[in-house]
Structure 1
Amino acid sequence: MVDHAVRRPSFRELLIAASCPLLAIVAALPAQASSHREAPFITTQPKVDGTDLYAFNSYEQGRSGYVTLIANYQPLQDPFGGPNYFKMDPNALYEIHIDNNGDAKEDLTFQFRFQNVFNRISLPIGTQSVPIPLTQAGQVQGPNSPALNVNEKFTVTLIRGDRRSGQAAALARVGSGATSFDKPVDNIGTKTIPQYAAYAAQHVYEVTIPGCSVPGRVFAGQRREGFAVNLGTVFDLINAPLSVITNPSLINAAPNPLANKNVTSLAVEVHKSCLLSKTTADPVIGTWTTASIRQSQLVNANPPSGHQTTVSYGGAFVQVSRLGMPLVNEVIIGLPDKDRFNSSLPQNDGQFATYVTNPTLPRLVEIAMGLAPGSAAPRNLPRQDLVTAFLTGIANVNRPLNPTPSEMLRLNTSIPAVPFAQQNRLGIVGNVLAGGSDNAGYPNGRRPKDDVVDISLVVAMGGLCMANGNNNAFGFGAACNPSAVPLGATAFRLHDAVDQAVQPFLSGFPYLNTPLPGAQ
Structure 2
Amino acid sequence: MKARLTRSALGAALLCLACAAQASSHREAPFITTVPKVDATDFYMFRSYEPGRDGMVTLIANYQPLQDAYGGPNYFAMDPNALYEIHIDNNGDAKEDLSFQFRFKNSLTNNGNGQTLTIGGQQQSTALKQGSGTVSSPKDPNLSTIEQYSVTLVRGDRRSGKAVPITNAANGSAIFDKPVDNIGPKTIPNYAAYAAQHLYTVNIPDCPTPARLFVGQRQDPFAVNLGTIFDNVNVPLSAITSRANIGAFPNTIGDKNVTTLALEVHKDCLKSSPSGDDVIGGWTTASLRQGRLLNPKPAAGLQANEKAGGAWVQVSRLGMPLVNELVIGLKDKDGFNASKPKDDAQFAAYVTNPTYPQVLANVLNGGAGAPTNFPRTDLVTTFLTGIPGVNQPKGVVASEMLRLNTATAPVAFAQQNRLGIVGSIRDGGTDFAGFPNGRRPKDDVVDVALVAMMGGLCMANGTTNAFGFGAACTPAAVPLGATSLEFHDGVDQATVPLLPGFPYLNTPIPGAK
TM over 0.5: yes
Matched residues in 2 for 1:423 and 1:278: separation? Answer: 29
Equivalent position to 2:293, from 295, 298, 322:
298
Matched residues in 2 for 1:428 and 1:307: separation? Answer: 47
CA distance 1:245–1:445, shift in 2 (3 Å): same
Give me the identity figure in percent: 62
Query: 2:325 matched to which residue of 1?
Result: 330
* Structure 2 stretches lacking a partner, 5+ long: 1-17
Query: 2:8 matched to which residue of 1?
Result: none
* Structure 2 residue 251 is the aligned partner of structure 1 residue 256: yes
Equivalent positions of 1:393-408 (< 5 A) are 393-408=386-401
Matched residues in 1 for 2:32 and 2:162: separation? Answer: 30
* Bigger mean CA offset, 443-452 vs 239-248: 239-248
Query: 1:129 matched to which residue of 2?
Result: 123
Query: 1:340 matched to which residue of 2?
Result: 335
1:341 aligned partner, one-letter code? F
Query: 1:202 matched to which residue of 2?
Result: 197
Matched residues in 1 for 2:455 and 2:238: separation? Answer: 21
Deviation of 1:97 (Å): 0.2
Matched residues in 1 for 2:373 and 2:282: separation? Answer: 28
Secondary structure of the corresponding residue to residue 259 of structure 1: coil
Query: 1:392 matched to which residue of 2?
Result: 385
* Structure 1 stretches lacking a partner, 5+ long: 1-27
1:454 aligned partner, one-letter code? D
Matched residues in 2 for 1:47 and 1:450: separation? Answer: 26
Give the total of aligned pairs. Answer: 489
Equivalent position to 2:26, from 36, 39, 63:
36
Matched residues in 1 for 2:238 and 2:136: separation? Answer: 50
Deviation of 1:397 (Å): 1.0
1:494 aligned partner, one-letter code? F
Deviation of 1:129 (Å): 1.1
Alpha carbons 2:47, 2:410 under 8 Å: kept: yes
Secondary structure of the corresponding residue to residue 362 of structure 2: helix
Secondary structure of the corresponding residue to residue 472 of structure 2: coil
Question: TM-score, normalising length from structure 2?
Answer: 0.90
* Structure 2 residue 47 is the aligned partner of structure 1 residue 54: no
Deviation of 1:460 (Å): 3.4
Matched residues in 1 for 2:88 and 2:429: separation? Answer: 29
1:139 aligned partner, one-letter code? T
Deviation of 1:279 (Å): 8.5
Deviation of 1:235 (Å): 3.3
Query: 1:11 matched to which residue of 2?
Result: none
Equivalent position to 2:414, from 409, 418, 421:
421
Alpha carbons 1:183, 1:220 under 8 Å: kept: yes
Alpha carbons 2:21, 2:321 under 8 Å: kept: no
1:303 aligned partner, one-letter code? K
Equivalent position to 1:274, from 260, 269, 272:
269
2:388 aligned partner, one-letter code? A
Q: Residue by residue, what CA displacement relative to the aligned partner does 1:68-99 show, whole Å, maximum 9, x if unpaired? A: 00000000001111100000001000000000
* Structure 2 residue 138 is the aligned partner of structure 1 residue 143: yes
* Structure 2 residue 201 is the aligned partner of structure 1 residue 211: no
Deviation of 1:212 (Å): 0.3
Alpha carbons 1:77, 1:263 under 8 Å: kept: yes
Alpha carbons 1:385, 1:465 under 8 Å: kept: no
2:106 aligned partner, one-letter code? N
Query: 2:281 matched to which residue of 1?
Result: 286
Question: TM-score, normalising length from structure 1?
Answer: 0.89
Q: Residue by residue, what CA displacement relative to the aligned partner does 1:187-228 show, whole Å, maximum 9, x if unpaired? A: 011011100001101110001111101001000000011100
Matched residues in 2 for 1:196 and 1:257: separation? Answer: 24
Secondary structure of the corresponding residue to residue 145 of structure 1: coil
Deviation of 1:472 (Å): 9.2
Query: 1:104 matched to which residue of 2?
Result: 94
Query: 2:14 matched to which residue of 1?
Result: none
Query: 1:8 matched to which residue of 2?
Result: none
Equivalent position to 2:175, from 160, 171, 180:
180
1:391 aligned partner, one-letter code? L
CA distance 1:280–1:355, shift in 2 (3 Å): farther
CA distance 1:39–1:304, shift in 2 (3 Å): closer
Alpha carbons 1:384, 1:480 under 8 Å: kept: no
Equivalent position to 1:451, from 444, 448, 453:
444
Q: Residue by residue, what CA displacement relative to the aligned partner does 1:231-278 show, whole Å, maximum 9, x if unpaired? A: 123334444343211112311111211111110000000000101112
Secondary structure of the corresponding residue to residue 432 of structure 1: helix
CA distance 1:66–1:470, shift in 2 (3 Å): same
Matched residues in 2 for 1:389 and 1:123: separation? Answer: 59
Equivalent positions of 1:476-487 (< 5 A) are 479-482=471-474, 485-486=477-478, 487=480
Q: Residue by residue, what CA displacement relative to the aligned partner does 1:35-87 show, whole Å, maximum 9, x if unpaired? A: 10000000111100000000000000000000000000000001111100000
* Bigger mean CA offset, 328-337 vs 505-514: 328-337
Matched residues in 2 for 1:103 and 1:495: separation? Answer: 35
CA distance 1:238–1:364, shift in 2 (3 Å): closer
2:35 aligned partner, one-letter code? Q
1:122 aligned partner, one-letter code? T
1:75 aligned partner, one-letter code? P
Secondary structure of the corresponding residue to residue 106 of structure 2: strand
Query: 2:66 matched to which residue of 1?
Result: 76
CA distance 1:107–1:197, shift in 2 (3 Å): same
Alpha carbons 1:134, 1:149 under 8 Å: kept: yes
Secondary structure of the corresponding residue to residue 382 of structure 2: helix
Matched residues in 2 for 1:188 and 1:82: separation? Answer: 8
Secondary structure of the corresponding residue to residue 312 of structure 1: strand
Alpha carbons 1:31, 1:234 under 8 Å: kept: no
